[in-house]
């Protein structure tokens, strides 16, 4: 009799244990599903949105841990878990980090800052930012800062690349008059004399605070308070440039051809070197527009102009995208981009910035890219949240 009772107790305990395990497994699946749904909704592209959140079981509750710069996403996640009666402890770090002591903005203070995928110099070059670019600072690790550029790209920069600022300091900087450097490359000087000591190199698109004008030079101040002089005919007053700059077919072609022969650089987005999307991004930036960083992001902007190789539909300035078409088992993969310049030709960074043709009888015929052509998109005059017109969006001024 006692043995039978013991068997019944053991069976009941086993069934209870199995039911509890099943219940826990269901909760884990539910929580995993909620996390994935939030990530898809708020941070589908980890290059421009940060939602690194995971969980672990702790007794009768779940510990949420990780970090995010999207407080609305974290709030949404917690509301959904409460609605499912899931007990949790919130240990998610919301960025910007409190350890920054309010210095949650920054300015690039060198000609070209190399931004890395991880906080070390040996990490992949993810992108670049030119002198005077305002950035958001999210956190620090040693001598590196995780930043977000105006196109929302997330990457790491070492302390030599930026000057951290408070919101008030950034607003003050934006309120000051500025110049924009318009030559492809050049130098700034310690005196209003091109034979004086060089202060630094400088590249097209660099922004500096204007102090005064001295004959043929602009006297400027760097974000780190260095004083220098810029030759006037190599730069413009930023307000004048902004007022007169507009991405047109003619201006885009003219800018792109000034970069002919520029070396290919993976991650490059400056006139020191460009990859394919860095080239199109730089061309548009020098014509008053900030467009997304990568080809796979640029393809999702603008208006569709062609996807069947009807190139007579294209206008100069349209972006051509190349890659692998989707199949029943694989998704589309965009791997290259160039810009249409007319006469059956497009300009792109491939080895170096070059002009190629889709005409098989042309000496610069590009059969490889023609064979992997996907579609073309028009950026000029397109209304898109991912396209920043510097006249409408005050990136460098209030």
Which active-site residues does the annotation give? Answer: 276, 336, 348
* Beta partners for residue 350, in sequence order: 352
CA 63/CA 60 separation, integer angstroms: 10
**Strand 105-108 versus strand 61-68 pairing type:** unpaired
Cβ atoms < 10 Å from Cβ of 368: 11
């Amino acid at each position: 009799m006692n043995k039978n009772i013991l068997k019944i107790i053991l069976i009941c305990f086993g069934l209870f244990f199995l039911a509890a395990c099943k219940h826990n497994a269901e909760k884990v699946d539910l929580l995993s599903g909620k996390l994935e749904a939030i990530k898809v909704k708020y941070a589908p592209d980890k290059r421009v949105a940060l939602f690194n959140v995971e969980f672990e079981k702790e007794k009768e509750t779940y510990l949420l841990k990780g970090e995010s710069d999207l407080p609305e996403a974290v709030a949404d996640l917690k509301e959904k878990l409460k609605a499912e009666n899931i007990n949790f402890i919130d240990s998610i770090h919301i960025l910007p980090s409190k350890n920054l002591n309010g210095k949650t903005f920054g300015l690039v203070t060198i000609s070209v800052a190399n931004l890395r995928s991880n906080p070390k110099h040996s990490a992949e070059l993810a992108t670049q930012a030119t002198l005077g670019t305002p950035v958001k600072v999210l956190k620090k690790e040693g001598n590196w800062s995780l930043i977000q550029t105006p196109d929302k790209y997330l990457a790491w920069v070492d302390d030599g690349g930026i000057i951290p600022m408070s919101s008030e300091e950034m607003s003050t900087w934006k309120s000051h008059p500025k110049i924009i450097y318009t030559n492809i490359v050049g130098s700034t000087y310690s005196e209003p004399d091109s034979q004086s000591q060089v202060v630094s190199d400088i590249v097209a698109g660099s922004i500096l605070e204007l102090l005064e004008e001295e004959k043929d030079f602009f006297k400027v101040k760097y974000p780190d308070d260095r004083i220098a002089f810029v030759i006037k005919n190599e730069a413009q007053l930023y307000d004048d440039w902004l007022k007169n700059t507009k991405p047109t077919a003619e201006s885009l072609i003219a800018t792109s051809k000034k970069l002919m022969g520029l070396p290919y650089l993976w991650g490059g987005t400056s006139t020191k070197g460009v990859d394919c999307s860095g080239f199109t991004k730089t061309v548009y930036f020098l014509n008053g527009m900030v467009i997304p960083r990568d080809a796979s992001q640029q393809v999702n902007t603008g208006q569709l102009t062609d996807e069947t190789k009807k190139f007579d539909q294209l206008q100069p300035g349209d972006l051509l995208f190349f890659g692998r078409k989707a199949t029943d088992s694989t998704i589309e993969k965009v791997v290259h981009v160039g810009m249409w310049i007319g006469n059956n030709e497009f300009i792109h960074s491939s080895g170096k910035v070059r002009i190629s043709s889709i005409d098989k009888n042309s000496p610069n015929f590009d059969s490889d890219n023609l064979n992997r052509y996907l579609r073309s998109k028009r950026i000029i005059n397109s209304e898109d949240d991912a396209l920043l017109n510097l006249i409408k969006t005050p990136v460098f001024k209030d």
